[in-house]
Amino acid sequence: MTQEKTVEKKLSKAAIETLAIIVYHQPVTRAEIEEIRGVAFGTNTLEILMELNWVKPGGRKNVPGRPIQYVTTDDFLSHFNLQKLSDLPTVDELGAAGLIDSTNIDNAIFGTGKFYKEKQDDKKEDIYSNIDEMLSSTLDSDEKN
């Protein structure tokens, strides 16, 4: 007989940093993660996050070499009790709570503030928002010619 025992381990500092970068910059490639962190990391870091089903491959970037991009999953949101990614704290909120020193932090670390999934929703909604402007500028240029 054998006794199976599950042991909960804390995530390594590298895994936490990697997860934070993916959350705030997604979709993001491995090279971009390493550039932001300033160090290379082992494959186990991403594998751990994927085993937890918090991160998944989210397509390939349209650049030479077509690297895999990583995004968060719905399991990540539910584990941290979030409805959507914009519920995450901003750099200003983290500074106000005393969790980070926001005086000497580069805001670019926290991405654009617009999250990938929500950008996609905006693209779907905004498809006809400026159609009148586009048509009038096209008509104006045709009349001039």
Tell me the C-alpha distance between 17 and 102, whole Å: 17
Its sign, for the CA torsion 71, 74, 78, 83, is: positive
Tell me the C-alpha distance between 12 and 98, whole Å: 22
- What digits encode the pLDDT tens for the residues 51-109? 999 999 988 888 888 999 999 888 888 888 888 887 777 777 777 776 666 565 555 55
Domains of the chain: 13-144 (1.10.10.10)
E strand or H helix that includes residue 140: helix 131-144
As given in the structure block, the two tokens for residue 55 are 């991160």
Mean per-residue pLDDT, 108-114? 53
* Percent composition of the chain: helix, strand, coil (DSSP 3-state, to 5): 55, 10, 35
Mean per-residue pLDDT, 116-125? 49
DSSP 41-75: --HHHHHHHHHTTSEEEEEE-SSTT-PEEEEE-HH
Q: What is the DSSP letter of 28?
A: E
Mean per-residue pLDDT, 22-29? 86
Place of tokens 């779907």: 124
* pTM of structure: 0.62
Model confidence band, residue 144 (pLDDT cutoffs 50, 70, 90): low
Q: What is the pLDDT of residue 56?
A: 92
Angular region, 113: left φ>0, alpha ψ -120 to 50, beta rest: left
